[in-house]
Amino acid sequence: MGAKIGILALQGDVSEHLDAFANAIRTFGSEGSIQAVPVRKPGEIAGLDALAIPGGESTTISRLIDKNGLYTPLVEFEGGIFATCAGMVLMASEVDDSRVHSLKLMDFSVRRNAFGRQRESFEADVDITGLDRPFHAFFIRAPVANRTGPGVRITGRIDEGIIALEQGRHMGLSFHPELGSDPRLHIRFLKNCGLV
């Protein structure tokens, strides 16, 4: 049986991440050897090789993680985590909102909704370390990191703050790579996890 990537399916861009990972797997030529599946229950985490925490509403996802008994299994998960937008907020060691029960799996501080409300959402071509050309990013009520610890590698920033970082096999992105057709960051995460 091949590798399995779970998409935390409590709220947010779940189907978009399922499609984006399927596209990345197809682009890399690994169809049949890697499967992306939705995850809603604690028992579904144990068999995963990697996990994605999608964008959505961070306080809602945080509450649903606690309500569904997923907090400890997520904290103890040994695979890599691909975290976008709200997912990035949940990975932070410090969040500017006490309603978010963060997983504290990456050593950085984050500011939620750093660009304002939904109407301030925007698209931009951003430079990401290690990519050969800019990445077209969708920022929707996006966060930014404003402090990182020594184990964190900053891979992208704009004037407002840090928008992309990595720590071990974990990747945090303040934007939504799953909304475009560019598979490079999903493929990079799969490579970082040793799955392709």
Spatial CA neighbour of 5 closest among 37, 42, 45: 37
57 is catalytic: no
Q: Which residue among the candidates 17, 166, 178, 186 is catalytic per the annotation?
A: 178
Strand 106-111 relative to strand 92-95, pairing? parallel
Q: What is the DSSP letter of 169?
A: T
From the candidates 16, 176, 186, 193, give the one annotated as an active-site residue: 176
Catalytic residue from among 85, 166, 170, 193: 85
**Element holding 73 (H helix, E strand):** helix 71-76
Other beta carbons less than 10 A from residue 66's beta carbon: 11
> 159: which strand partners?
none
Q: Reply yes or no on whether 178 is catalytic.
A: yes
Catalogue the E-assigned strands of the chain: 3-8, 34-39, 50-53, 80-84, 92-95, 106-111, 122-126, 135-139, 144-148, 153-158, 161-167, 170-173
List, by residue number, the catalytic residues: 85, 176, 178
